[in-house]
Amino acid sequence: MTGVIELRGVSKVYGSGAAEVHALRDIDLTVGTGELVAVMGPSGSGKSTLLTIAGSLEDPSDGEVLIDGLLLSAMSRNDRARLRRRSIGYVFQDFNLLAGLTAAENVTLPLELDGIGSKAARVLGLQALVALGLDGHADRFPDELSGGERQRVAIARALVGDRHVLLADEPTGALDSANGEAVMRLLRSAAEGGVAGIIVTHDAQLASWADRVVFLRDGRIVDQTARPASAESLLVPGPSS
Amino acid sequence: MSVPHALLALLSEGPTFGLRLRQEFEARTGEVWPLNVGQVYTTLQRLERDGLVESDEEGADGSQKRYRITAAGATELATWLHTPPDTALPPRDELIIKVLVSLRLPGVDLHEVLQVHRRHFVEAMQHCTQIKARATDDDLELALVADAELFRLDAVVRWLDAADSRLKRRPVRKPDEVAVSSPRSARKATVWG
Ligand SMILES: Nc1ncnc2c1ncn2[C@@H]1O[C@H](COP(=O)(O)OP(=O)(O)O)[C@@H](O)[C@H]1O
Ligand SMILES: [Mg+2]
């Protein structure tokens, strides 16, 4: 498998001395094109830290991160910033849309930051919104959208242009189960469309949309599921029976 | 629920008498599953027949037999602890018993026992989700059945998570501090009544 996202021996220590926290210890994780990996673990197990390090928002204390086969540690600050703008989409539970911008403006923001002209950006932004079933909502402000619609706009923003790395932290946050499922269907189809994705969550129902579930405990990967064989019937017992 | 395996678990802590096993079993499982004496002895006989436990000769003065676990019994116990139950059946009772009886077993990493089961149930959930993801919009029945399965399995995973975090916070207790005779009937009535 070609690794689009690759963590090699990644550790993260916050603080020092008595206040030292080992948030991650020796993490190896590879996510390929078209693969959606869920990282499950209790609160404080290091899920968000793993995601911010994979997304180049933070540096590991030890180990290496590669995106598209390129070592982040060997890239200049500018190159890393460009990578974040062009290749990586982030979806977070709270930190989401800017209240003063419409849905379309929120989606095209990363493109415009990347220097794409506003007309071209608008075309790409509308495409992303249509793909997520938000045609007709482009010019609404976040407070004119439901929670589920807002989160779909956030996903549109994460996928706009040709972003092919999707990182989501508890992406269905406070959504009810129908909207949560809709969000997961979108992330799933994004993966099938060639995106490499990591979702971190403590919720097994969300995690079950992933191709592979990795279990984190006290900053370590302690286990992972097998890639599920294709499922035909509910009456057939699960893959590992 | 698996009485034979629960008895094996108790015997793995050391040889003991049949009556004592019954007391221990009830105390350890929150007195939720009463066992009668006859059940304990037939189970022990079957375990002995299968070579999983062995017993002393009955004392000449009619004193009770002491039972102890054999190597084969220890292997059987380890296999049971690490083998998830059939997810096609409501698995929780056996799972709860498994965790309760192994709480104080030496040499058993309970987090690992919990994780084996967590992985198994999450894999079963992936299986159901795959089916749901492929169900067409007009296949309401299939989606509903998949949802029911998912919520059932999710409840087990949540219980495993809760158990894991309780275990992490539990005070360290020595094996000989097991409170066999603590009165639990009142609690039983409120939790399970
Ligand atoms: N910026 C930080 N400074 C110090 N400690 C941190 C910081 N971020 C996270 N931590 C600690 O690292 C550990 C893992 O945190 P986090 O990755 O947020 O876990 P999760 O997302 O699984 O709840 C926790 O103990 C947390 O307190
Ligand atoms: Mg977090």
Q: Does A178 lie at the interface with B, CB-CB under 8 angstroms? A: no
pLDDT at res. B105: 86
pLDDT at res. B173: 58
Say if residue B131's pLDDT is above 80.
Answer: yes
Q: Which domain covers residue A92, as residue numbers?
A: 5-233
CB contact under 8 A, A240 and B165: no
In a mutational test of the B interface, the residue from A39, A208, A222 whose CB has the highest number of chain B CBs within 10 Å is: A208
Torsion of CA A221, B116, A176, A57, to 10 degrees: 0
| Tally of CB atoms within 10 A around B192 | 10
Which amino acid residue places its CA nearest to atom 7 of ligand 1? A14
Confirm if B100 and B30 have CB atoms less than 8 A apart: yes
Percentage, residues of chain B above pLDDT 70: 79
Q: How many A from CA of A51 to the centre of ligand 1? A: 11
Would residue A126 count as lying in a domain? yes
pLDDT at res. A147: 84
pLDDT in tens, A105-160: 999 988 888 888 989 999 999 988 988 888 899 999 999 998 888 888 998 898 88
Say if residue B186's pLDDT is above 50.
Answer: no
Rounded to whole angstroms, how far apart are CA atoms A156 and A131? Answer: 8
| DSSP 8-state code for residue A45 | S
Q: How many A from CA of B64 to the centre of ligand 1? A: 57
Would residue A241 count as lying in a domain? no
Would residue A238 count as lying in a domain? no
CA angle A78-A80-A85, nearest 5°?
A: 95
Confirm if A203 and A181 have CB atoms less than 8 A apart: no
Q: Where are the domains of chain B?
A: 3-81, 94-183
Confirm if A103 and A153 have CB atoms less than 8 A apart: yes
The partner residue sitting opposite A209, judged by closest CB among B129, B131, B145, is B129
CB contact under 8 A, A42 and B129: no
Higher confidence at residue A8 or residue B178?
Answer: A8
Rounded to whole angstroms, how far apart are CA atoms A67 and A134? Answer: 30
pLDDT in tens, A40-76: 999 999 999 999 999 999 999 999 999 999 999 999 9
Higher confidence at residue A208 or residue B171?
Answer: A208
Rounded to whole angstroms, how far apart are CA atoms A139 and A150? Answer: 13
Number of folded domains that form chain A? 1
pLDDT at res. A219: 97
Confirm if A186 and A134 have CB atoms less than 8 A apart: no
pLDDT in tens, A177-212: 887 888 888 889 889 989 999 999 999 999 999 999
Rounded to whole angstroms, how far apart are CA atoms B141 and B129? Answer: 14
Confirm if A4 and A67 have CB atoms less than 8 A apart: yes
pLDDT at res. A238: 41
Ligand 1 shell residues, CB under 6 Å: A 14-15, 21, 23, 41, 43-49
Query: What is the value of ipTM here, to two decimals?
Result: 0.86
Q: How many A from CA of A218 to the centre of ligand 2? A: 13
Which CATH number goes with the domain that contains A157? Answer: 3.40.50.300
Residues 6+ apart with CB under 8 A from A87: A67, A68, A163, A164, A165
pLDDT at res. B190: 42
Say if residue B176's pLDDT is above 70.
Answer: no
Would residue A239 count as lying in a domain? no
Would residue A80 count as lying in a domain? yes
Say if residue A241's pLDDT is above 70.
Answer: no
What token pair was written down for B187? Answer: 């609690």
Closest-CA distance of chain B to residue A12, Å: 22
Q: In this predicted structure, which of A95-99, A100-104, B1-5, B176-180 has the lowest mean pLDDT?
A: B176-180
Q: A108-146 burial, b for 16+ CB within 10 Å, e for fewer?
A: bbbbbeeebeeeebbebbbebbebbebeebbebebeebe
Half-sphere exposure of B30 (CA within 13 A, CB side): 16
pTM of the model: 0.79
pLDDT at res. A41: 95
Residues 6+ apart with CB under 8 A from B61: none
Q: How many residues does chain A have?
A: 241
Closest residue in chain B to residue A37, using alpha carbons only: B126
Closest-CA distance of chain B to residue A215, Å: 8
CB contact under 8 A, B115 and A222: yes
Say if residue A175's pLDDT is above 60.
Answer: yes
With helix as H, strand as E and coil as C, how does chain B read?
CCHHHHHHHHHCCCCEEHHHHHHHHHHHCCCCCCCCHHHHHHHHHHHHHCCCEEECCCCCCCCCCEEEECHHHHHHHHHHHHCCCCCCCCCHHHHHHHHHHHCCCCCCCHHHHHHHHHHHHHHHHHHHHHHHHHCCCCCHHHHHHHHHHHHHHHHHHHHHHHHHHHHHHCCCCCHHHCCCCCCCHHHHHHHHC
Say if residue B77's pLDDT is above 70.
Answer: yes
CATH class of B3-81: mainly alpha
CA distances from B78 to A190, A215, B96, B108 (A): 43, 23, 16, 9
Closest-CA distance of chain A to residue B136, Å: 13
Q: Give me the residues paired with residue B55 across strands.
A: B67
Would residue A109 count as lying in a domain? yes
Rounded to whole angstroms, how far apart are CA atoms B100 and B167? Answer: 11
Would residue A188 count as lying in a domain? yes
pLDDT at res. A134: 87
Which amino acid residue places its CA nearest to atom 4 of ligand 1? A14
CB contact under 8 A, A240 and B120: yes
Greatest mean pLDDT among A216-225, B26-35, B103-112: A216-225
Q: Do the bridges between strand A3-14 and strand A165-169 make them parallel or antiparallel, or are there none, so unpaired?
A: unpaired
Torsion of CA A125, A126, A131, A134, to 10 degrees: 110
Would residue A40 count as lying in a domain? yes
CA distances from B23 to A43, B8, B26, B28 (A): 38, 14, 5, 9
Higher confidence at residue A126 or residue A2?
Answer: A126
Ligand 1 atom closest to the CA of A219, numbered from 1: 14
What token pair was written down for B193? Answer: 């009544």
